[in-house]
Amino acid sequence: MKGKSMFGNQNKFLILTAILLLPVNLFADMVSINPRPRMESMGGAGVATLGDQDSAMMNPASLSDVEKSKVEVFPLTLEAPFDLGTLNSFLDYNDVRGNPAKTTTDKKKALTSFLSDAAIEATAARINIYPSYTRKYMHIGLLMDMYVDPRLRVGGITGNEVMELGGSSGTAGLILGGGYSFLQDQLQVGMTVKPIYRVSITEQANQTLHDVVLGLNKDADAAGNPPPNVSDQLFGKSKGKNRAYAVGVDLGVKYFIPYFKNLKPTVGLTYQDIGDTRFVGDKSLPADIPQSISVGIALHPNWSIFKNTFALDIRNMNQEEDFLNKFHFGAETVIWNLLAVRAGVAQGYLTGGLGFISKLFEADVYIASREAGRYSHIQDITTIGMRLALGW
């Protein structure tokens, strides 16, 4: 019994440490596959915007009005957790810790507050590489994406809360988009096909942290004894074996409204992951990607050296979520075709970013945010991202 107790204590310590460190290692999602920095910094809006290299993900119909061919070589996107509340708690603790006038009780209180905020933070991290070629009417891209989205929710690591890791995965595949226009380019239609291969990092979608610590996940034996190592407790014995193929299909329509032509008003409609993007196999993970229907409207006025875009989307209209979670608004102004300034509101949370554009190099820095669950303004997942790309 003594040996078993020591083993259990060591495992509990290692498990809790691993859970604390997990969000730092690796990230998704306004669209189901391959969300792009411009879209995320504009509040997730873009169903009706003009065509560019991101149109295959947002609305393939917009590929019909791409003006210039674009090749992107080794574009790297990194996203990491960013929570102002947790950051402020850490700064407060650091101030108290370095203040000789503060007592040990004050320092413990500040540390407890910081750890509490860090423990309940919904975090996400992402690494994405997406080389692509875009021209009028077509887009092809090679996707390599890895993200972890551990949701510890209220109660954090010390509570008997559900830990959701089922969406954390590595994805590789192709993004093949095509569009065409009718009625003198006034009406546009398009389709994106997404053959992908996905590997889930865990064996099951969720479990309580309490069960993980006690070894009561599905790999425990009949007597309830935990698996022989921490890795199996966290991820299951078949980690890395939950992998499958799927082919997703998106359809899009966009229409140029023939009034107020100086504003270039457009409306768009997308039907993404038609019939659900279903992974082949009998395992629960990787999870199928649910279908979604979205509508949007956009204006594109140009003022002197400023090229502007204002976009409003109502996304995932077919899904049971609070209305605020469907609301996405974004604005962008491009100055001298060199600097892009973007801002938006995604599901009630502010987003924003800057983009540097040149003939051979592009860079984006942005803050993206979204709701962690289906109910609005409960808990946000906020990330800070950076994208660097060579292209011509």
Return the SS3 of 58.
helix
Contact 374, 362 (CB under 8 A): no
**Is the confidence at residue 77, as pLDDT, over 90?**
yes
Domain boundaries, the chain: 2-27+36-83+121-391
**Is the confidence at residue 175, as pLDDT, over 60?**
yes
Contact 289, 276 (CB under 8 A): yes
Query: From CA 289, how far away is CA 316, in angstroms rounded?
Result: 12
Query: From CA 335, how far away is CA 218, in angstroms rounded?
Result: 56
Predicted local confidence at residue 155, as pLDDT: 45
pLDDT in tens, 222-271: 565 555 555 565 556 666 678 899 999 999 999 999 999 899 999 999 99
Say how far residue 188 (Cα) sits from the centre of its chain: 28
Token code pair at residue 203: 């064996």
Helix axes 84-97 and 104-120, enclosed angle (nearest 10): 160
Mean pLDDT of 372-388: 84
DSSP character at residue 321: -
Predicted local confidence at residue 251, as pLDDT: 98
Mean pLDDT of the chain: 82
The rounded radius of gyration (Å) of the Cα atoms in the chain is 23
pLDDT in tens, 5-42: 433 444 444 443 443 333 333 333 456 788 899 999 99
Contact 198, 186 (CB under 8 A): no
E strand or H helix that includes residue 353: strand 349-357
Return the SS3 of 235.
helix
Predicted local confidence at residue 317, as pLDDT: 94
Predicted local confidence at residue 228, as pLDDT: 53
355 CB-near residues (< 8 Å, 6+ apart):
37, 38, 41, 339, 340, 342, 362, 363, 364
Mean pLDDT of 190-213: 75
pLDDT in tens, 273-296: 999 999 998 777 888 999 999 999
pLDDT in tens, 291-333: 999 999 999 999 999 999 999 999 999 988 889 999 999 999 9
Q: pLDDT higher for 108 or 209? A: 108
**Is the confidence at residue 341, as pLDDT, over 90?**
yes
Predicted local confidence at residue 20, as pLDDT: 37
Return the SS3 of 293.
strand
Query: From CA 77, how far away is CA 343, in angstroms rounded?
Result: 19
Residue whose C-alpha is closest to residue 166's, from 319, 289, 275, 276? 289
Residue positions counted in the chain: 392
Token code pair at residue 328: 């996405």
Predicted local confidence at residue 94, as pLDDT: 83
- pLDDT-derived band at 167 (thresholds 50, 70, 90) equals low
Query: From CA 211, how far away is CA 11, in angstroms rounded?
Result: 13
Query: From CA 83, how far away is CA 121, in angstroms rounded?
Result: 8
Amino acid identity, position 11: N
Predicted local confidence at residue 286, as pLDDT: 85
Token code pair at residue 176: 């093949």
Percentage helix, strand, coil for the chain under 3-state DSSP, each rounded to 5: 25, 40, 35
DSSP character at residue 151: B
By CB atoms closer than 10 A (0-12, 13-18, 19+), residue 136 is: middle
Amino acid identity, position 236: G
Q: Under CATH, to which class is 2-27+36-83+121-391 assigned?
A: mainly beta
Mean pLDDT of 131-152: 89
Q: Which of 93-107, 279-293, 354-368: highest mean pLDDT?
A: 354-368
Query: From CA 165, how far away is CA 207, in angstroms rounded?
Result: 9
Predicted local confidence at residue 371, as pLDDT: 84
Predicted local confidence at residue 55, as pLDDT: 96
End-to-end CA distance of the chain: 67
Contact 39, 88 (CB under 8 A): no
**Residue whose token pair is 């998106």:** 250
Token code pair at residue 109: 């209180």
